[in-house]
Amino acid sequence: METPLPAPDSHEMKIRVRYSESDPMGLLHHSRYLSYFEMGRMELFRAQGGDYREMESRGLFVVVLKLQCEFKRPARFDDLLTLRTSVARVTPVKLEHDYDLRRGDELLAKARVVLACVDRSGEVRRLTRDLLFGPAEG
């Protein structure tokens, strides 16, 4: 059974590759893609009404269970990229996001990340709207 999340189910953001993120060849270092995906995930959560800082203050944390990334073409220093983050699947205990990183129409990388929510003791928590977004205001 899937758990519905608030709209939107995707988000796009622009990212300019900084010099400090590049290797000596002027290419975006592979480790930076993971940071970009995290940025996309946070901005999607914010667009859905979530507040990660508030969620952490309640003792809840999102952990990465699995990450798959397929690199198609390199990004370079000063490229303006578009990252699209989409909710791929939500189950009672897992949340999956898909990522497409593009330079214009050219696909540079695609990835899927599987996440879970845990409490301070590391116990997995069921993903409910109240858990992720706090009690509904009424």
3 Cβ contact list (under 8 Å, min separation 6): 90, 91, 92, 127, 128, 129
Half-sphere exposure of 16 (CA within 13 A, CB side): 3
Task: Report the pLDDT value the prediction gives residue 7, as an integer from 0 to 100.
Answer: 77
- Rounded distance between C-alpha atoms, residue 129 and residue 49, angstroms: 11
pLDDT in tens, the chain (138 residues): 455 677 789 999 999 999 999 999 999 999 999 999 999 999 999 999 888 999 899 999 999 999 999 999 999 999 999 999 999 999 999 999 999 999 999 999 999 999 999 999 999 999 887 777 766 665
Annotated domain spans of the chain: 10-132
Task: Report the pLDDT value the prediction gives residue 135, as an integer from 0 to 100.
Answer: 63
| DSSP letter (8 states) at residue 1 | -
Return the amino acid letter for 8: P
Stretch (H or E) spanning 119: strand 106-119
Distances (CA, A) of 138 to 67, 129, 132: 37, 14, 17
Task: Report the pLDDT value the prediction gives residue 26, as an integer from 0 to 100.
Answer: 94
Residue located via tokens 């993971």: 34
Task: Report the pLDDT value the prediction gives residue 1, as an integer from 0 to 100.
Answer: 45
What is the value of pTM for the model shown?
A: 0.89
Task: Report the pLDDT value the prediction gives residue 117, as an integer from 0 to 100.
Answer: 94
Enter the CATH code of domain 10-132: 3.10.129.10
